[in-house]
């Protein structure tokens, strides 16, 4: 009988060659037989597709044997004179008795690589298939494999560019290793290479999706216009720019720029517009035979024209509409305002007023608005009409003008009136949210349902409903059940939905009370005071609709069942409507409990370039205030310029501003959901005060096909602090209001409430005019951030492992000091150590002095740009296509069973790695606890006796002597060191942990 170990591939191995890669090979050991695969140079995710065959000398010993699969890094490719030829990358230990009994039963499985020691740096996993081969089948396979080796020797070997660059001696050595058959320990060492791709798996087995050949090619670098390079690598980094903004100019230049643009718009570039305000008309001449006139106005500048709404049979119409024409697009010096009569066949000409654009006055806020004037209408030849006047105001202004937001813009000239409404800039506010606490205490005199009057003790529940939020109590027996259960709901002001409490018996309502969420029914609790409970009468047949219509309950009855409730609006909490790590508002709902503002946040949305959507607009959110820029209907290159500026009050610097770009799908007749283009997050605490940050932020979207760059967003951001003392004092205060700590809400309940708050905000803003659509709000609030993603799991796992990189670096530095790798540094450490021993009062001052020096040293390398989304940290560039397909899959899944099984196995692999790391950390802590727990009585006896001896020695020996002896022993020269582990290390490793108590 033979044992076959089929080695398919490995993924995400640790880098060992100093250049972010490794040269992996696999060594398999079974029953004193050892074999190796070929080396894959410079590949952290290698493919071998090799089968190693071992002799099973005694099938009865299989349960006691193990298959050790070790992944090694071949150091000889970089250093031919390396003392150790291989470096450990990880291993897998499998019981030989778990091998499949035939090739058909074998299943390809992924195993997480395990560490060999406490400080081993291991990552990744590998795919293996282990099965047994009967004697006859093994002989046939050996003949086929021998023929394959001969055929492989005759064929030409195609090598990669990396392998071609390796030394000729190494290539010759690898070719010799392919052919050698060496007797080792009584076994035969065979290295067999699979030439072709592996055959497809049998039906019903695990499907291993192929990994991509490498990371996707980076997008081309952004074009000119920035003065700095991107941080974060490639096309996904920030690019610093220097636009001509008044806020970034000197004092003199800023004063000169104040004449062109208002001081409140000093963070955007001035954009000149021609404004035409059509107010009204009077005494218009009639054109129809009937004497009726349906007037409207057409404002025309070159190829652009705007049209007011027409008014039926009105010779004295009032329009009050404003039109804005970008001066950049003006191709003529004449402005025409034409009054027409709406007709079925052809609109009739009534009169016109013409202006020379060069003679139009300019107006810059804070100047008062320009007063409108009456103008006499003229015919086509320019002759004044006897009847008809129109009131107009015409001026040249900028986007700082008050009329800019409500104006009809020339870039939307091809849209309908409803489409124009959806393109305007607007400011929205989230509804005021607060928690509604409902304590269901008890009920009395519950009348059973019809047909169950004779039965006593039937269980009933209390169902509490507020809008779409429904909670239920545990069942209790009648007729006087006692619950004493507390529930939390999210309520939004104004309170449109009542609280409905229903007593149900086997899904049949036996009593109901409907309570308006307003005073005096539900009091507000601002100071965490005790609220008195109340008794409410229950009505059997009242429906929610009847209660909404105002039908009184029990108007003809003197007896009614009752329920005891404690209701309160807990306004001392802050209702979280966004993920906690992206929160932009941390104030409590009660206005009197809020702290004063500490500064002003100003955002200038300048422009974008390289967008993939033709109708872009931006949405920015900070706190309860949402802003939406105007939608630019682009017919040419997708490089829009908004140049709109917005301002927020800042109450906490540890908050996040979110800006996103969308494609407006509601500007034309075919209604479509607004498409996501990209998102930018800026944490205020990372910004320097009074500095204007102008950067191009890359916009990225993650799709099942991979990461895509959809453009760049040009922003100007400035955080101005107005209360330095309060801002610095906030770093010592809790992040959330005090109520979250004195009366905390459980994590599960908080997640449920946050999801309900998100849905409530999305519903309210979708009812605005124009609506901020649900898909926009959900994208801004990251509604789906709680969904499972293997990509995020890997990213978070690497974040956990990277936390220990600093401690590992210090341990390596100390190991180098102790082994005298740099004698000069070791001598300096000896001197510093002896000084600190002689003067122990200098230890703490020295530590803090070093921290001060390190902080000053790092100042020159401080970040100069706001932090942006890191694609490498997020594993967005290196994510496997199947992992992304799984992330965007529906719930429940819509994939076939074999794909789901493969994904489940992959999830087990990632979870196994997390489980191993957490288990190792727990093991070390449990060993420390075992020192005094007498779990190992001999070890505890030894430790407490040693503790007594050490206490006596330290008592009679000066501390300096002990410190010098201990320090010099740790820093001794390598010739006085043993290669064996130290006695304390061996003692600690032998201490018991609770890992042997796990099932």
Residues 310-353: tens digit of each pLDDT:
888 888 889 998 998 888 777 788 899 999 888 877 888 889 99
Quote the DSSP letter at residue 813. Answer: H
The candidate with the shortest Cα–Cα distance to 899, out of 205, 7, 144, is 205
CA 155 to CA 178: how far, in whole Å?
13
SS3 54: strand
Q: List Cβ neighbours of 72 (8 Å cut-off, separation of 6 or more).
A: 24, 25, 26, 27, 86, 87, 88, 89
The candidate with the shortest Cα–Cα distance to 114, out of 106, 104, 124, 105, is 124
CA 616 to CA 634: how far, in whole Å?
8
User: What is the distance of C-alpha 706 from the center of its chain?
Assistant: 16
| Residue in the structure block whose two tokens are 């740099």 | 822
The candidate with the shortest Cα–Cα distance to 59, out of 97, 11, 12, is 97
Element (H, E) at 478: none
Surface-to-core class of residue 472, CB atoms within 10 Å of its CB (0-12 exposed, 13-18 middle, 19+ buried): middle
Secondary structure tally for the chain: helices H, strands E = 19, 39
Q: Is residue 492 within 8 Å of residue 624, measured between CB atoms? A: no
CA 333 to CA 356: how far, in whole Å?
6
Q: What is the pLDDT of residue 912?
A: 76
Element (H, E) at 940: helix 937-956
Q: Is residue 37 within 8 Å of residue 50, measured between CB atoms? A: yes
Q: Where are the beta strands (DSSP E) in 516-561?
A: 524-525, 534-537
| Residue in the structure block whose two tokens are 């100042």 | 859
Query: What secondary structure does DSSP assign to 959-971, as a single string?
Result: HHHHHHHHHHHHT
Q: Is residue 513 within 8 Å of residue 554, measured between CB atoms? A: no
Q: What is the pLDDT of residue 134?
A: 82
Q: List Cβ neighbours of 947 (8 Å cut-off, separation of 6 or more).
A: none
CA 717 to CA 711: how far, in whole Å?
19
Number of Cβ within a 10 Å radius of residue 537: 14
Number of residues that this document lists for the chain: 999
Sign of CA dihedral 390, 396, 401, 406: positive
Ranges of residues in the chain whose predicted pLDDT is under 50? 137-139, 146-233, 254-262, 454, 547-550, 556, 558
Exposure string for 402-432, b = 16+ CB within 10 A, e = fewer: ebbeebbbbbbbebeeebbbbbbbbebebbe
CA 220 to CA 505: how far, in whole Å?
66
* C-alpha distances in Å from residue 709, one per residue of 633, 714, 790, 865, 873: 21, 15, 21, 20, 16
Residue 797: both structure tokens together = 């796992």
The candidate with the shortest Cα–Cα distance to 712, out of 217, 243, 233, 239, is 239
Element (H, E) at 568: strand 562-570
Q: What is the pLDDT of residue 636?
A: 56
Q: Is residue 614 within 8 Å of residue 655, measured between CB atoms? A: no
User: What is the distance of C-alpha 377 from the center of its chain?
Assistant: 60
* C-alpha distances in Å from residue 820, one per residue of 828, 980, 985: 11, 18, 21
Question: What are the backbone angles phi and psi of residue 347, rounded to the nearest 5°?
Answer: -70, 135
Q: Is residue 542 within 8 Å of residue 561, measured between CB atoms? A: no
Angle between helix 937-956 and 959-970 (nearest 10): 120
Q: Is residue 871 within 8 Å of residue 232, measured between CB atoms? A: yes
Q: What is the pLDDT of residue 637?
A: 58
* C-alpha distances in Å from residue 788, one per residue of 684, 883, 889: 29, 11, 10
CA 555 to CA 561: how far, in whole Å?
14
Number of Cβ within a 10 Å radius of residue 14: 20
Residue 698: both structure tokens together = 């890359």
Residue 809: both structure tokens together = 């670096």
Residue 264: both structure tokens together = 């409140």
Angle between helix 805-818 and 823-838 (nearest 10): 100
Q: What is the pLDDT of residue 436?
A: 94
Task: Spell out the long-range contacts of 411-420 with Cβ–Cβ below 8 A and sequence spacing 24 or more.
Answer: 411/326, 411/329, 411/632, 411/633, 411/634, 412/631, 412/633, 412/667, 413/304, 413/305, 413/306, 414/633, 415/633, 415/667, 415/668, 416/669, 417/309, 419/666, 419/667, 419/668
Sign of CA dihedral 627, 628, 630, 634: positive
Q: Is residue 66 within 8 Å of residue 3, measured between CB atoms? A: no
Query: What secondary structure does DSSP assign to 755-786, as a single string?
Result: HHHHHHHHHHHTTSSS---HHHHHHHHTGGGG
Query: What secondary structure does DSSP assign to 581-612, as a single string?
Result: GG-S----SSGGGPPPP-EEEEEEEEEEES-S
CA 481 to CA 852: how far, in whole Å?
65
Sign of CA dihedral 376, 379, 384, 388: negative
Q: What is the pLDDT of residue 543?
A: 58
The candidate with the shortest Cα–Cα distance to 649, out of 608, 582, 587, 602, is 602
SS3 143: helix
Q: Is residue 486 within 8 Å of residue 524, measured between CB atoms? A: no
pLDDT in tens, 818-853: 888 888 888 888 888 888 888 887 887 887 788 788
Q: What is the pLDDT of residue 995?
A: 66
Dihedral angle at the C-alpha atoms of 804, 806, 807, 811, nearest 10 degrees?
Answer: 130
């Amino acid at each position: 009988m033979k044992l076959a170990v089929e080695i398919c591939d490995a993924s995400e191995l640790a880098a060992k060659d100093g250049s972010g890669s490794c040269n992996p090979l696999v060594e398999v050991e079974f029953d004193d037989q050892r074999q190796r695969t070929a080396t894959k140079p410079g590949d952290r995710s290698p493919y071998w597709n090799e089968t190693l065959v071992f002799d099973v000398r005694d099938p009865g010993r299989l349960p006691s044997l193990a298959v050790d699969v070790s992944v090694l890094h071949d150091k000889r490719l970089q250093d031919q004179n390396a003392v150790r030829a291989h470096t450990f990358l990880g291993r897998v230990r499998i019981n030989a008795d778990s091998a499949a009994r035939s090739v058909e039963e074998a299943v390809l499985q992924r195993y997480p690589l395990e560490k060999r020691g406490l400080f081993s740096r291991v990552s990744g996993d590998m795919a293996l298939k282990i099965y047994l081969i009967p004697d006859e089948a093994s002989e046939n396979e050996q003949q086929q494999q021998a023929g394959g080796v001969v055929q492989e020797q005759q064929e030409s070997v195609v090598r990669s560019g990396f392998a071609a660059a390796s030394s000729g001696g190494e290539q010759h050595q690898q070719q010799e290793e392919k052919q050698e058959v060496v007797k080792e320990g009584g076994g035969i060492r065979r290295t067999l290479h699979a030439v072709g791709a592996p055959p497809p798996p049998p039906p019903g087995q695990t499907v291993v999706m192929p990994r991509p050949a490498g990371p996707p090619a980076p997008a081309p670098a952004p074009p000119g216009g920035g003065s700095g390079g991107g941080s974060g690598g490639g096309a996904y980094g920030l690019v610093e720019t220097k636009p001509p903004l008044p806020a970034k100019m000197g004092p003199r230049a800023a004063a000169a720029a104040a004449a062109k643009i208002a001081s409140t718009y000093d963070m955007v570039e001035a954009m000149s517009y021609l404004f035409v305000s059509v107010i009204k008309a009077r005494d218009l001449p009639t054109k129809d035979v009937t004497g009726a006139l349906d007037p409207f106005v057409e404002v025309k500048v070159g190829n652009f024209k705007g049209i007011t709404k027409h008014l039926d049979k009105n010779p004295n119409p009032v329009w009050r509409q404003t039109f804005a024409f970008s001066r950049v697009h003006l191709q003529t010096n004449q402005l025409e305002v034409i009054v027409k009569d709406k007709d079925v066949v052809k609109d009739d000409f009534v009169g016109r007023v013409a202006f020379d654009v060069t003679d139009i006055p300019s107006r810059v806020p804070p100047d008062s608005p320009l007063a409108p004037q009456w103008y006499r209408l003229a015919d086509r030849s320019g002759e004044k009409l006897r009847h008809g006047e129109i009131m107009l105001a015409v001026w040249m202004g900028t986007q700082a003008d008050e009329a800019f937001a409500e104006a009809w813009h020339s870039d939307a000239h091809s849209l309908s009136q409803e489409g124009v409404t959806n393109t305007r800039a607007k400011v929205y506010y989230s509804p005021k949210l607060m928690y509604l606490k409902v304590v269901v205490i008890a009920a009395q005199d519950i009348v059973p349902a019809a047909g169950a009057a004779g039965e006593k003790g039937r269980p009933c529940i209390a169902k509490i409903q507020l809008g779409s939020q429904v909670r239920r109590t545990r069942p209790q027996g009648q007729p006087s059940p006692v619950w004493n259960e507390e529930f939390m709901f999210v309520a939004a002001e104004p309170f449109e939905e009542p609280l409905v409490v229903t007593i149900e018996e086997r899904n049949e309502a036996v009593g109901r009370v409907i309570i308006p969420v307003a005073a005096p029914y539900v009091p507000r609790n601002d100071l965490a005071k005790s609220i008195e409970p109340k008794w409410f009468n229950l009505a059997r047949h009242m429906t929610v609709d009847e209660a909404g219509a105002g039908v009184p309950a029990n108007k003809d009855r003197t007896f009614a069942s009752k329920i005891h409730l404690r209701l309160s609006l807990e306004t001392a909490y802050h209702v979280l409507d966004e993920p906690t790590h992206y929160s932009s508002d941390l104030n409590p709902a009660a206005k009197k409990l809020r702290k004063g503002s500490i500064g002003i946040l100003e955002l200038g949305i300048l422009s974008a370039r390289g967008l993939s959507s033709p109708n872009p607009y931006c949405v920015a959110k900070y706190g309860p205030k949402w802003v939406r820029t105007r939608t630019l209907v682009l017919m040419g290159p997708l490089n829009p310029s908004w140049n709109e500026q917005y301002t927020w009050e800042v109450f906490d610097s540890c908050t996040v501003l979110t800006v996103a770009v969308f494609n407006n799908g509601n500007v034309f007749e075919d209604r479509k959901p607004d498409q996501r283009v990209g998102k930018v997050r800026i944490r205020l605490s990372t910004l320097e005060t009074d500095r204007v940050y102008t950067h191009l932020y890359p916009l990225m979207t993650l799709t099942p096909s991979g990461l895509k760059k959809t453009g760049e967003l040009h922003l100007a951001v400035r955080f101005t602090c107005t209360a330095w003392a309060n801002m610095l004092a906030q770093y010592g205060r809790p992040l959330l209001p005090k109520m979250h700590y004195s009366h905390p809400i459980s994590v599960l309940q908080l997640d449920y409430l946050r999801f309900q708050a998100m849905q409530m905000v999305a519903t309210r803003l979708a009812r605005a005019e124009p609506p901020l659509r649900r898909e926009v709000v959900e994208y801004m609030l990251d509604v789906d951030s709680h969904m499972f993603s293997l990509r995020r799991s890997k990213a978070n796992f690497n974040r956990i492992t990277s936390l220990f990189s600093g401690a590992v670096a210090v341990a390596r530095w100390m190991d180098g000091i102790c082994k005298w790798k740099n004698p000069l540094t070791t001598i300096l450490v000896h001197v510093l150590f002896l000084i600190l021993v002689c003067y122990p009062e200098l230890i703490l001052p020295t530590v803090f002095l070093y921290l001060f020096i390190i902080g000053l040293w790092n100042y020159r390398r401080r970040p100069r740009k706001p932090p942006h989304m890191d694609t490498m940290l997020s594993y967005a560039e290196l994510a496997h296509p199947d992992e992304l397909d799984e992330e965007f899959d529906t719930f429940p899944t819509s994939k076939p069973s074999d794909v789901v099984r493969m994904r489940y196995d992959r999830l087990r692999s990632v979870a196994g790695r997390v489980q191993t790391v957490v288990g190792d950390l727990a093991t070390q802590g449990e060993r420390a606890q075992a020192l005094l727990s007498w779990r190992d009585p001999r070890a505890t006896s030894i430790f407490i006796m040693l503790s007594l001896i050490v206490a006596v020695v330290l008592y009679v020996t000066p501390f300096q002597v002990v410190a010098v002896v201990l320090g010099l022993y740790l820093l001794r020269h390598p010739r006085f060191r043993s290669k064996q582990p130290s006695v304390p290390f061996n003692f600690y490793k032998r201490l018991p942990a609770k890992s042997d108590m796990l099932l």
